[in-house]
Structure 1
């Protein structure tokens, strides 16, 4: 599961950032015994224009099978072909023009150690940068220590109490997949949505991931529930009555 997050403050066809990302990844591999591969992760097999211009079409074709560049194994994978494994963290993944949702998916992979994001459109990567508190890479490949990611604020104390309680009551290894855990989560989200002035899914998910240790994929299940209610829609399951009892309990705990 990835624990190191970086990004380039760019967008569009910035070929130089893709080249610098490779050099930055090489530096990380040389400084660590555990890292072995550099993955260029692209949306599809046809989305390699940046790499074609850097390395040539023929080399890029070979990179789909893995090649050695500057002493490191470099491989191109697509969102569809790159899947999770049970290997120890060994991959540095350069996300080429991916959006936040696509990057979040990779973040949970066991064999991924580091993620380097190169945005296509900044706003499409903003959620991941804020949630992951990613570090900005400078032009000279140093880390911009003065840059502080505009991380999401913490939720209210009541929301914290609710999700701490949920976290302690469910099987965190499976998230809310079990029927009873799923029903409890839906009840809690309903209660918070009904009585909190605002329930922001980005703020909640950032808190679940960074403070309560949830996997991104599991926090995304909560995101979907919140989004459903915020969009004026409904979901089946969970309690629909007695929601105020839960909310008053969290409020009393928060006030203590």
Structure 2
């Protein structure tokens, strides 16, 4: 399933951004009969002031139960970070309301989400998500950030090798998978000129279909070494052999 991604380059109490996002969701639903619901995803039940100012208190209350609007087919409903779960039926548009990248990226993994329209609270709050997925800015404004670059061929080969070796449903939570991941990160950190956690994480999510939380585990290992610290586990010997193998594959 191809997920559509959009955002509005704004910050703070931009009420019009929420109105625009809802109108845009209606247009998306017009072109996709599978879309049944538009989720207005907020931090908590208290974080909904934009909608009371736009629609008034009565309609805002109706949004907790779910309501429709004239000339717009899907149901609009409030959900919070605690209440919203993946229904595993691709039928929803999510408008993220004042959430940042760390909160939007896991929602991007949901199978039920056919499209995301993200509205930040801070101007740079969505940078990592935008870097990862290069979504469309629906106001037509120039994007503040570009997509992350591709990692080097050697890093790609290492991450592809890791992906083929581990249980993708659990990431590196199994001890043997964690040991292999740590070994690979140690080898790359020792022999690559630079290893950027965000670039690697984005590649895992965008190209190798890792869940966001599992990719974060790899990012944490990279950041630990980049910050001059150490982690337990991973083989410390024979690292050059791994690196030579990946390099050879890149040269073929």
Same fold by TM-score, threshold 0.5 exceeded? yes
> Is contact 1:96-1:117 (8 Å) kept?
yes
* Matching residue of 1:104: 105
1:84 aligns with 2:80: no
Q: Residue 218 of structure 2 corresponds to which residue in structure 1?
A: 222
User: Does residue 163 in structure 1 map to residue 159 in structure 2?
Assistant: yes
Aligned to 2:190: 194
Q: Which of 231, 242, 247 lines up with 1:246 in the alignment?
A: 242
Question: Is the 1:170–1:181 Cα contact (8 Å) retained in structure 2?
Answer: yes
- Give CA deviations for 1:83-115 in whole Å, capped at 9, x if unaligned: 2233x1111000111110100010111211110
- Detail structure 1 runs of 4+ shifted over 3 Å in the superposition: 144-149
Contact 1:134 1:149 in 2 (8 A): no
1:72 aligns with 2:84: no
Report how many aligned residue pairs link the two structures.
Answer: 250
Following the alignment from structure 1 to structure 2, what is the Cα–Cα distance between the partners of residues 38 and 2? 17
Determine if the alignment matches structure 1 residue 15 to structure 2 residue 12: no
- Aligned pairs for 1:113-132 (under 5 A) are 113-132=114-133
Would the aligned equivalents of 1:2 and 1:115 in 2 still touch at CA under 8 Å? no
Gaps of 5+ in 2: none
Instruction: Report the counterpart of residue 96 of structure 2 in structure 1.
Output: 95
Q: How many Å apart are 1:231 and its aligned residue?
A: 2.5
Deviation at 1:221, TM superposition (A): 1.9
Kept in 1, the 8 Å contact 2:127–2:145? The answer is: no
TM-score, structure 2 length as denominator?
Answer: 0.91
Contact 1:2 1:112 in 2 (8 A): no
Question: Helix, strand or coil: the match of 1:73?
Answer: strand
Give, in angstroms, the shift of residue 7 of structure 1: 0.6
Shift of residue 28 of structure 1?
0.9
- Structure 1 residue 164, shift from structure 2 partner: 1.3
Q: How much is the aligned-residue C-alpha RMSD, in angstroms?
A: 2.0
Given the superposition, is the C-alpha separation of residues 232 and 58 from structure 1 closer, same or farther in structure 2, using an over 3 Å criterion?
farther
Gaps of 5+ in 1: 139-143
**Structure 2 counterparts to residues 32-71 of structure 1, below 5 A:** 32-70=32-70, 71=73
- Deviation at 1:244? 2.1
